[in-house]
Structure 1
């Protein structure tokens, strides 16, 4: 068994310096994915850089209509502290593992591993978030929809660290739905995130675990945005729900694996898309109706 070099960063500057000096090193935050892979021999690491004590990564802030969420903020805090501002992400966070896992696992970890099944990733694409990354060369921002390039691969350079995600505060109803063989502690067979922005008359929709990367369903978004009765509200026509589900499924490129066939995933995505759109629209109409009553 090969022994890995263990390095610990005390702040963000030291973290970027360590990553520059050891570009092959694996970053360690919550460890809920990395350590499992190491313990079972599914991955190797010549060096580990512990980021768990970097204070800049474990804080979040709000500036106007944007939340800057540190990459090391655990899911438990997202649920408890950001459920109102980022409801879609909070819903996804509730589906991550057990309570013990949620106490340690982070959005930064999902981004770092770049798994297409990462629960936090569809809400980030749906909300049109951006990813903040840093190195000794400086910082840059990458749209979440452009961050992933393949299974387990992202646009991160070897010396870069994900430091935060910048997520718009919810302007309307948001929903997240995940399908698995049981209700908890399971990798998604498929997942769908849905975001409504009535002010811009815009819909966001993204799918997880049904393509080589998380994907945004752009044609479905445009279709729903044009078909929803933003001014009048009211019931969502069945044909709109059905067509929306078809378009979301068409955005995917699933495979057959032990968790489900490609055909089953496409069907599941269509069902989840119909449901999340209906749930979000119902919630939005209720909010708008309450707003009218309060005026």
Structure 2
């Protein structure tokens, strides 16, 4: 196995261009597990830890440009207000040691449907910035996931950053696991209310071959929600929202949970998220728990 260690972003892009079969690595929380268990044996690794800028974030217009290598700990510490759903998801990732190493870029690169970062990126309509020696392009998160562990990233591209829109209303994230910590989600869900466009965003994790949205639930909630004052939604509307979210999922039975349980849990998470986000809206907040 060849090991490449570029010192600049330009060198990293050149290495990926010359070796499109090389696997980028930074935190190593997914890649090294697969290698150690002999589930994967890439011909080459591109170590990005020396590349400046990947571990930085900055304001980008009204939103945030999050470097692909910013660890989850950094997101929790610095972006609770600028990206509340993503910060809540980052807080739920594994152990402190993993949160110090893992990143959103790594989640996107691996594209596991159970990745905790995916639902908030979908719900908030984030954008993935991809780069190659040929230039930079930006792909909406809602168009990034193509199939099981397949994404819109081309073989010669690296994930440079994620562009996070400024919150325009409350955001929520929650997941269900077999225990409270150090666990892969059985199912997860993110919700974002946008008071400016009067739209609702959703993101579903670990309940399909890719991270998913629930467009029908989004349209229903946007039509039912009281955007003027945030009055409590009727219980029937909250229940229907949960049904529509569960219907959008495409779960399977596996060792972590059955398809039926996943749908049930997802409906519960969606109902709670909508009710709590509505309460946040009435109070004028944009933060999530």
Interval containing the TM-score (normalised by the shorter chain): over 0.9
* Structure 2 residue 81 is the aligned partner of structure 1 residue 84: yes
Any conservation in 2 of the 1:89–1:120 contact (CA below 8 Å)? yes
Aligned to 2:175: 178
Deviations 1:237-279 (A, max 9, x none): 1011100001111111111110111111111111110011111
* Structure 2 residue 263 is the aligned partner of structure 1 residue 280: no
SS of the aligned residue for 1:48 comes to: strand
Q: TM-score of the superposition, structure 2-length normalised?
A: 0.97
Moved more, 56-65 or 12-21: 56-65
Matches within 5 A, 1:70-109: 70-109=67-106
Aligned counterparts of 1:127 and 1:241: Cα–Cα separation in 2: 20
Q: TM-score of the superposition, structure 1-length normalised?
A: 0.95
Aligned to 1:5: 2
* Structure 2 residue 131 is the aligned partner of structure 1 residue 131: no
Any conservation in 2 of the 1:92–1:119 contact (CA below 8 Å)? yes
Match of 1:192 among 157, 165, 189: 189
Matches within 5 A, 1:1-295: 4-287=1-284
Deviations 1:188-207 (A, max 9, x none): 00000000111221111110
State the 1:64 CA deviation. 2.6
Aligned counterparts of 1:183 and 1:172: Cα–Cα separation in 2: 28
Aligned to 1:293: none
Moved more, 46-55 or 89-98: 46-55
Deviations 1:143-194 (A, max 9, x none): 1011011111111111110100001011111000000001111000000000
Aligned counterparts of 1:232 and 1:163: Cα–Cα separation in 2: 39
Deviations 1:20-76 (A, max 9, x none): 111111110100110011011111111110011211211111123121100000000
Any conservation in 2 of the 1:11–1:56 contact (CA below 8 Å)? no
State the 1:232 CA deviation. 2.6
Aligned counterparts of 1:64 and 1:240: Cα–Cα separation in 2: 36
Any conservation in 1 of the 2:63–2:82 contact (CA below 8 Å)? no
Aligned length: 285
Q: Which runs of structure 1 show a deviation greater than 3 angstroms over 4 or more consecutive aligned residues?
A: none
Can you give the 5+ residue segments of structure 1 that lack an aligned partner in the other structure? Answer: 289-295
Any conservation in 2 of the 1:123–1:176 contact (CA below 8 Å)? yes
SS of the aligned residue for 2:53 comes to: helix
Aligned counterparts of 1:269 and 1:120: Cα–Cα separation in 2: 17
Aligned counterparts of 1:195 and 1:182: Cα–Cα separation in 2: 26
Can you give the 5+ residue segments of structure 2 that lack an aligned partner in the other structure? Answer: none
Any conservation in 2 of the 1:9–1:15 contact (CA below 8 Å)? yes
Any conservation in 1 of the 2:232–2:275 contact (CA below 8 Å)? no
Aligned counterparts of 1:199 and 1:137: Cα–Cα separation in 2: 36
Aligned counterparts of 1:190 and 1:168: Cα–Cα separation in 2: 25
Aligned counterparts of 2:152 and 2:199: Cα–Cα separation in 1: 27
